[in-house]
Amino acid sequence: MRSTPDLLKERAEDVFKAWMETQLASAPLRLDMMSKSDLEKQSRKFLHAFLEVISTGNLDNIEAPEYAPVIELLQEISKSRAALGFTPSETATSVFSLKYSLLQFLQDEFGDTPDILNGEITAVSQLLDKLGLVTFETYTRGHEEQILKQKETMAKMLTPVMILWKDILLLPVVGAVDSTRTQIIMETVLKRIRDTESKITLMDITGVPTVDSGVANHLVKITKAAKLMGCDCIVSGIAPAIAQTLVHLGIELRGVITTATLRDALLLAYKMRGYEVREKKEAPKKKGA
């Protein structure tokens, strides 16, 4: 009697055909996203690697070094399919479907000896279950990496600090404010204050959609830290709704100068620094008049 790896290797072409049939027949497979020839190429490559590795006799530990090529291939397949828009279930189903195709061959070979059949079936299905899960893990990990990258990009994008005038910085806060972002904003703005030795920071919160007690506390922290360094903070862009919320929630903004618009804040900052803004008395002459 042949061993399972030998049997499968011998009948590799039949196994491949059976697997392709199962894959093509399974409902979730999306031929609109991937051509049949691509699928065949991928499947053949995987099957080949799979049969190679089970011939080592290790049907259990997929963390062993001999499994590295198979895992790598699976991760590659999983990534490329994710990029094509496949769901992780669809990718995993591909792997699981190999299990059903293999079972048929095992049945044919070991049908007469139920004891051996049982053992072989258990081993093969456990192995393929593990491999199927690898595709899931790869998919999730890829997603997490992407989310992390986006988060970092957003954090960087959303905290510009500009020099508005000598000694005056502008910090526009746009979007939701949580504790992580507060920390990033604080770090950025405090460093800028030190580098530019600015005396006033205008924090414009027109772009903050909602201000609850959490957000207010975060913003107050930034103004406090700036003040400790010797830089006054003017918070502008307090919309009527925000003013109402702040009072209703009983949030104390003592020590923080607030204005309705950035314009008022800028005028106030000029005044505090001893600048005077006034209109020219003569109307500007029109060109060509």
Partner 1 sequence: MEDAVSNVAMYVARGCLVVPIEVELYDDSMRQIQKAVLESITETGIKGVIIELSGVNIIDAFLCRTIFDTARMVSLVGATAVLTGIKPEVAASLSEFDLKFYDIQTAITIEESFHRLEPLVESKEEAVEEEDHGDDVG
Distance CA 269, CA 263 (A): 10
- Nearest distance in Å: CB 172, partner 1: 20
**Residue number, 188 or 206, with CB nearest to partner 1:** 188
CB 236 within 8 A of CB 206: yes
**Residue number, 156 or 194, with CB nearest to partner 1:** 194
**Residue number, 62 or 200, with CB nearest to partner 1:** 200
- Please tell me whether residue 123 adopts helix, strand or coil conformation: helix
Query: Which positions ≥6 away from 161 have C-beta within 8 Å?
Result: 169, 170, 171, 188, 189, 192
- Please tell me whether residue 165 adopts helix, strand or coil conformation: strand
**Residue number, 204 or 232, with CB nearest to partner 1:** 232
User: Angle at CA 26, nearest 5°, toward 24 and 30?
Assistant: 65
- Nearest distance in Å: CB 155, partner 1: 16
Q: Which is it for strands 162-165 and 168-174: parallel, antiparallel or unpaired? A: antiparallel
**Residue number, 135 or 182, with CB nearest to partner 1:** 182
Rg (CA), the chain: 33
Distance CA 129, CA 283 (A): 81
Structural tokens at position 235: 């918070």
- Nearest distance in Å: CB 77, partner 1: 46
Query: Which positions ≥6 away from 53 have C-beta within 8 Å?
Result: 66, 67, 69, 70
- Please tell me whether residue 235 adopts helix, strand or coil conformation: strand
- Nearest distance in Å: CB 205, partner 1: 17
- C-alpha dist (Å) from residue 143 to 54, 87, 95: 30, 12, 20
Going by C-alpha positions, the residue among 215, 213, 141 that lies closest to residue 180 is 215
- Nearest distance in Å: CB 228, partner 1: 4
Name residue 232's beta-bridge partners.
200
**Residue number, 83 or 228, with CB nearest to partner 1:** 228
**Residue number, 49 or 229, with CB nearest to partner 1:** 229
* Interface ranges with partner 1 (CB under 8 A): 183, 186-187, 190-191, 193-194, 197-199, 221-222, 224-231, 254-255
- Nearest distance in Å: CB 254, partner 1: 6
Q: Is 204 exposed, middle or buried (0-12, 13-18, 19+ CB in 10 A)?
A: buried
- Nearest distance in Å: CB 283, partner 1: 38
**Residue number, 150 or 217, with CB nearest to partner 1:** 217
- Nearest distance in Å: CB 152, partner 1: 20
